[in-house]
């Protein structure tokens, strides 16, 4: 899912149906983390493992951690045309901005750069969720992939999506967290957060109508991120003080306000 043209090496696998376009045929093996991220964040680590983390419990609970090869995870759910076409273009467009942020460098992000990063973040999260076994997550994303396939052609994300960025400095350099807000049978929002190096991105999808949700952060992490989709103007990254490992666990579980009732919805 993250392979620039200069390093792409397509591997054909058994016939399936593409996650995005719905076409059948040969699928390509897609890396969840881009190879250039692995090279920048964990150089000379081939054959070694790093500490990975998943957080899907209440805010403040510890991460589930395990040792795994450095940014080696792959999936086989996208076709050759998608992987080598529009997905590769999104990857290439985001790389000039994502790479320095992973390394903790301060740069100015214009709205166009934010749009490219937001598209990349949504693409990454849509692929990360395929690794989950939770049937609720798969149901929540059942139609999202085909919708994104259509909206990305216009260089945009669905109207129900918000994307935020923050900086994280801690012991976990490769992380992914998800939360489903509301009740299992009637979800209100789906939150995905992933970190590569010092770069943290959070995608929030609303199920409460076609409007951007209002997000209420815990006071410990409030004011330390920035919404990049929809973009509101240029800003210099990082948007605030870096999040620690413990603060990142809190950051993954914001409260949201519904677009019609304005009632607070807490994480499950």
- Does a structural domain hold residue 121? yes
Residue 3 lies in a domain: no
Evaluate whether residue 253 is within a structural domain.
Answer: yes
For tokens 């052609």, what's the residue?
153
Residue 7: the pLDDT is: 32
How high is the pLDDT of residue 8? Answer: 35
- Distance in angstroms (rounded) separating the CA atoms of residues 52 and 35: 17
pLDDT average per 10 residues of sequence, the chain (268 residues): 34 65 83 77 61 55 61 77 92 94 93 96 85 65 84 90 93 74 72 88 81 81 93 92 89 69 41
In a domain, 4, yes or no: no
Of 242, 212, 244, 241, residue with least CA distance to 227: 212
The reported pLDDT for the residue numbered 1 is: 35
- Residue 1 in any domain: the answer is no
d(CA 127, CA 231): 23
- Count of residues in the chain: 268
Report the domain count for the chain.
1
* Residue-range definition of the domain harbouring residue 113: 12-265
**Rounded distance between C-alpha atoms, residue 149 and residue 20, angstroms:** 6
String of DSSP letters for 48-64: -EEEEEEE-SSTTSPPE
Residue 197 lies in a domain: yes
Whole-number pLDDT of residue 171: 78
pTM for the structure as a whole: 0.81
């Amino acid at each position: 899912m993250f392979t620039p043209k200069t390093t792409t090496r397509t591997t054909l696998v058994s016939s399936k149906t593409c996650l995005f376009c719905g076409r059948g045929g040969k699928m390509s093996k897609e890396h969840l983390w881009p190879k250039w991220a692995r090279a920048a964040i964990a150089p000379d680590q081939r054959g070694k493992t790093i500490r990975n983390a998943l957080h899907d419990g209440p805010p403040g609970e510890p991460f589930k951690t395990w040792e795994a090869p450095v940014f080696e995870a792959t999936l086989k759910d996208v076709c050759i045309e998608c992987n080598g076409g529009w997905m590769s273009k999104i990857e290439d467009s985001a790389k000039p901005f994502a790479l320095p942020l992973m390394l903790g460098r301060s740069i100015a992000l214009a709205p166009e750069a934010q749009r490219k990063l937001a598209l990349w973040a949504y693409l990454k999260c849509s692929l990360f969720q395929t690794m989950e076994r939770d049937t609720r997550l798969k149901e929540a994303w059942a139609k999202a992939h085909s919708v994104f396939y259509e909206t990305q052609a216009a260089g945009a994300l669905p109207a129900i999506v918000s994307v935020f960025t923050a900086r994280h400095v801690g012991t976990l350099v490769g992380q992914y967290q998800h939360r489903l807000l509301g009740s299992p049978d009637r979800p209100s929002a789906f939150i995905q957060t992933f970190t590569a190096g010092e770069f943290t991105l959070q995608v929030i999808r609303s199920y409460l109508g076609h409007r951007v949700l209002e997000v209420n952060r815990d006071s410990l992490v409030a004011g330390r991120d920035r919404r990049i989709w929809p973009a509101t103007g240029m800003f210099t990254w990082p948007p605030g003080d870096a999040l620690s490992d413990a603060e990142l666990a809190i950051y993954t579980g914001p409260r949201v306000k519904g677009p019609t009732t304005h009632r607070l919805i807490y994480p499950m």
